[in-house]
A and B are shown apart, each in its own frame.
Chain A
Amino acid sequence: MTLEQLHFEPDRRPLLEVRGAGHSYGERYGCRDVSFELWPGEVLAVVGESGSGKSTLLGMLSQRLKLSEGSVRYRLGDGDVVELSELSESRVRRLWRTEWGFVHQNAADGLRMHVSAGGNVGEPLMATGWRHYGKIRAAAAEWLARVEIPADRIDDAPATFSGGMRQRLQIARNLVVSPRLVFMDEPTSGLDVSVQARLLDLIRSLVAELGLAVVIVTHDLAVARLISHRTLVMKDGRVVESGLTDRVLDDPQAAYTQLLVSSILQG
């Protein structure tokens, strides 16, 4: 988070305040004892091997999974701070529609594969009450251009798109309602390296441009290094290390983080 953003943020409270949060699958905890703060405009990377509880943490923060212990407090657009687990289902779903985005690893989970690209981007607008076809279409076209999808593909279904295009479409669909907080679950894995680089570049510029707060889950340290300000390192459902991304990756303290950093292939 930059100083300018701090200056323009009238309410100096974090967007998301997580204290001792955990989610259990029956007897077993998927993640436990997680505490951090997320500020507007900040990108937080959650890294760790598969099974370390990254996706559980993301599900828990976005209220897709129930909070088993601890607290997750969120500052609403109107300034009120709410405990997310106490919100009614309809209010949580309204947050999904108006203030949050969720970018899935598999684009098919976040898109309607047989609805046109324009319809996919327009749907969140229609869900928030837009009822003017011309305006919806114009907004969809504008967002497709921003994520570099050719204008003549607006009426094609994402089922006909390449993996990279699908992922960019998913990002457009999430950002069209100008959310305040976006959750991303491994948005670049499964894409080849050059497409990954382009997508990361796009995410980074959009995040900076829109001042989004992002929680991004990844197992790829390069992704964390490229776009995040701070990093949480998870292992066996717990946070083993957290701090500024450059500090965590250049001077890892925890044994596991050292292992993780040293296991990257050096070119």
Chain B
Amino acid sequence: MSTALPGYNVGYLDEQTKRMIRRALLKAVAIPGFQVPFASREVPMPRGWGTGGVQVTASIIGGDDVLKVIDQGADDTTNAVSIRSFFAKVTGASTTTCTEDATIIQTRHRIPEAVLREGQIMVYQVPIPEPLRFLEPREAETRRMHALEEYGLIYVKLYEDIAKYGHIATTYAYPVMVNGRYLMDPSPTPSFDNPKLHQSPALHLYGAGREKRIYAVPPYTDVVSLGFEDHPFEPQRFEQPCAVCGSTGVYLDEIITDDAGGVMYACSDTDHCERAAALASAHIDDLEEARA
């Protein structure tokens, strides 16, 4: 293990805090989808910038872990870069941008395109953990609804979508049922990524720092996206391939290229895009060699 920043405890948080968060995490894993309250601490960034995810990562990271941090799927955005270098400083753990090499992946939105494997941990930065919040503002009432499994209300949200747009227009924070019991908000991940949660071999941990809640989806758990019989859940689809690497069936970002309506669509997962582009160009080189 390389050396951490002197004067700071490993992982920035003190050991008692990390224990408290680990206890909450164990409870969350034991009751998939259940929101466990925890005593959220201050970390050196404002609430709303991923403090929940940072606290979860700080509590589980060890010297031999390899950390990857993404924001909107990209490894090179401000928040991703600063969180990654923060943990490099205070833990001495190594970091990577390669999904396969990482043991812990902290994310704001996306689940990487590469298929996750056993032993990997996804850490999500959650802004609003309560899926019923905008329908039922009373926290005491939503907790009671979770306790009694009264989830009719969440369908009102989907009903409103269909009434307004003719289809379920919710494309992020799309509600799911976890293990057939708890209704869960998979954070602001796009609904495109929802199917990746179902029976995933990786462990998924959700931390909401401002709202002081932790919840989890353990490996190989049923995660079902809600829908109506006549309007079932449909993940987002993209018609065109990535303009950079040519991948299809991946999540694309719209990039505006000029002020005359010009746009291009490129992978939101930068790690996937770089490697797919490298593979494609190597393939072209091979073809040219063969021709020569």
Q: Which residues of A contact B (CB under 8 A)?
A: 89-90, 93, 97, 112, 115-116, 118-119, 122-124, 126-129, 131-134, 136-137, 154-155
Contact = CB atoms under 8 A, between A and B. Distances in A.
B46 interface: no
A133 B148 contact: no
Nearest to B163: A155
Interface in B153-200: 153, 155-156, 159-160, 162-164
A90 B159 CA distance: 25
Given A122-B156, A126-B156, A134-B230, A93 B150 contact: yes
Nearest to B136: A112
Highest count of chain A CB atoms <10 Å: which of B152, B164, B228, B230: B152
A118 B159 contact: yes
10 contacts: A116-B164, A119-B156, A119-B159, A126-B155, A131-B155, A132-B229, A134-B230, A137-B159, A154-B163, A155-B163
Contact of A126 (B152, B162, B230): B152
A127 B159 CA distance: 13
Interface in B188-247: 228-231
A96 to B, nearest CB: 10
A186 B156 CA distance: 28
Contacts of B230: 132-134
B135 interface: yes
A134 B232 CA distance: 12
Assign chain B's interface to a size class. Answer: 10 to 19
Contacts of A119: 156, 159-160, 163
A97 B155 CA distance: 15
A254 to B, nearest CB: 41
Given A89-B148, A126-B155, A136-B228, 16 more contacts: A90-B148, A112-B135, A116-B160, A119-B159, A122-B156, A123-B152, A126-B152, A126-B153, A127-B150, A127-B152, A128-B152, A131-B155, A132-B230, A133-B159, A133-B162, A155-B163
Contacts, number: 57
Contact of A132 (B144, B164, B228): B228
Contacts of B162: 133
User: Which 4 interchain pairs have the tightest Cβ spacing?
Assistant: A127-B152, A126-B155, A133-B228, A126-B152
A111 B242 CA distance: 46
Contacts of B148: 89-90, 93
Contacts of A128: 152
Interface of B: 135, 144, 148, 150, 152-153, 155-156, 159-160, 162-164, 228-231
Contacts of B155: 126, 131
A123 B152 CA distance: 7
A59 B191 CA distance: 42
A133 B160 contact: no
Contacts of B163: 116, 118-119, 137, 154-155
Contacts of A154: 163
Contacts of A132: 228-230
A154 B228 CA distance: 19
Contacts of A137: 159, 163
Given A116-B163, A119-B163, A155-B163, A131 B229 contact: yes
Contact of B159 (A97, A122, A124, A129): A122
B167 to A, nearest CB: 10
Contact of A131 (B144, B150, B228): B228
Contact of A127 (B144, B153, B164, B228): B153
A115 B135 contact: yes
Contact of A155 (B152, B164, B228): B164
A104 to B, nearest CB: 16
A123 B150 contact: no
A115 B230 CA distance: 21
B150 A136 contact: no
A224 to B, nearest CB: 33
Nearest to A124: B152
Highest count of chain A CB atoms <10 Å: which of B163, B228, B230, B231: B163
A67 to B, nearest CB: 20
B18 to A, nearest CB: 37
Contacts of A112: 135, 156
B202 to A, nearest CB: 30
A10 B156 CA distance: 37
A177 to B, nearest CB: 11
A127 to B, nearest CB: 3
Contacts of B135: 112, 115
Contacts of B228: 131-133, 136
